[in-house]
Amino acid sequence: MSLPIWVYFVIAGIVISAYMAVKTAKEDRDQEMEWIEKEGEEYIERMEEEKERRKNVKEVSQ
């Protein structure tokens, strides 16, 4: 039983589309994780600077 050639093209298109969707989702997830890590590092840095600033203010006031 032979299928028309256009059916094979449709199936190939579906497979390629699914692959591209998965690939794009992974890239987006990786990019989002990179952004989250960068923001977390900046937050920690600000917290350490604030801690150091408060420590210096406390030492000066004593």
pLDDT at 2: 87
- Supply 17's token pair: 């589309």
Give me the DSSP letters along 4-61.
PHHHHHHHHHHHHHHHHHHHHHHHHHHHHHHHHHHHHHHHHHHHHHHHHHHHHHHHHH
Q: What is the pLDDT of residue 7?
A: 96
Whether the per-residue pLDDT at 60 is higher than 90: the answer is no
1: confidence class by pLDDT, cuts 50, 70, 90: low
Which 8-state DSSP code applies to residue 1? -
